Amino acid sequence: MDNSSPPRTAAALWNDRLGRPAVRAAQVLLLLALATCVVFALTRLSLLVIPVLIAMVVAAALAPLVGILRRLGWPALLATWTTLLTGLILLALVVWLVTLAFQDEWPRLVDEAGRGIEELERFVTDGPLGISPDQIESVRQSAMDALSSDQVQSGAIRGATAAVEAVAGLLLGVVVLFFLLKDGRRMFTFLITPLRAATRRRALQVGERSVEVLGGYLRGTAIVAAVDAVFIGAGLMIVGVPLALPLAAVVFLGAFIPLIGAVLAGVLAALVALVTNGPIAALIVVAIVIAVNQLEGDLLAPVVMGKVLSLHPLVVLSALTAGTVLAGIVGALLAVPLTAVAWAAAKEWNATAPPGERLVPEPSDAESGSWSEHGSGSAPESD
């Protein structure tokens, strides 16, 4: 009597307790490989991708103004040109004012910084550290040799090349911004034309929600950043810190990088106050920055931003880190809004899907509640 089991087929190997996890792991690895290839391709095309992404963010913020002008009866071309030129004129005006203040106060800052460095050298040589002037001169000479090295010169050449690429990217971004403001909806409708009617309607809702979240994030962040810049800039002027207007501009730009941007801008303002006005002024500047940041976090940001950016701080930090690693400062600026848009688009797609096609089933009334009432299961989703 033969007690041997029948041979197992290839299909059975993939359906047992080990085969099913292996299939799932292979699917995950394939998706990760595809995502890696996409990210690598995007980083290789940064001169194209970054201007397009920036143009998309700005277009989402300016689209309501174009819509208002169109509803007032303006032609599409005139409404687009008016919006675009208004934005460019305001940007040029801000840059001109900051540059003018920087040129006026730069000599004073150089003189004060020089005196601060001299006082630091006297403290180092005459204080308890016991460092001799010859050692300081040796460090200074080493720094001069490093600045005149071939690596630094080649880095300067790369910097000049990057400057040319930045100008080209800026021009490309303006052109893309114009067409997105004028024909953005038509472009998106054309892209989703191959989809089925029901799926096309869902994709259109997802696109509208994504534009709403992206524009709301940028407009809200700009309002918060402007309030921060006004209050901190006024505080710097009252204390008598030079370069108050350029530092206020740095605060405005830093507010677009969540979590760390405002902190870095405040540190820079405090350092300038320390070098030029002394430690008491620096402490006053630190107090002003902390007070403004508390006002922003506890009152202004929740009112202005609402639920546009419903991301956990850990997700924000992870997105910032990934964006900085992949694309530097531009990646840090774009990572959080793009992550918020991706999350909002996934939620909208799931909410508009038929019950059998939802990625995450919506909890019923009987299933909603705390863990303590049901003992197991997942916590209800919250914005």
pLDDT above 90 (res 108): no
pLDDT of residue 30: 93
Residues with Cβ within 8 Å of residue 343, at least 6 apart in sequence: 310, 311
pLDDT of residue 369: 41
pLDDT of residue 173: 86
Cα(340)–Cα(258) distance, integer angstroms? 12
**Contact between 118 and 126 (Cβ < 8 Å):** no
pLDDT of residue 380: 39
Q: Kindly report which listed range (176-180, 278-282, 296-300) carries the lowest average pLDDT score.
A: 296-300
- pTM of the prediction? 0.66
User: C-alpha dihedral over 244, 247, 253, 254, to 10 degrees?
Assistant: -130
pLDDT above 80 (res 33): yes
- Block residue for tokens 């909806």: 185
pLDDT tier for residue 3 given thresholds of 50, 70 and 90: low
**Contact between 180 and 59 (Cβ < 8 Å):** yes
pLDDT of residue 121: 66
Q: How many CA atoms lie within 13 A of 324 on its CB side?
A: 11
User: C-alpha dihedral over 293, 299, 303, 309, to 10 degrees?
Assistant: 50
pLDDT of residue 29: 92
pLDDT of residue 307: 59
Mean pLDDT (the chain) is 76
**Regarding predicted confidence, which is higher, 351 or 354?**
351
Task: Provide the percentage of residues in the chain whose pLDDT is more than 90.
Answer: 2
pLDDT of residue 50: 83
pLDDT above 50 (res 379): no
* 130-140 mean pLDDT: 65
- Block residue for tokens 């033969």: 2
Instruction: Name the residue among 255, 256, 282, 252 with its Cα closest to residue 269.
Output: 282
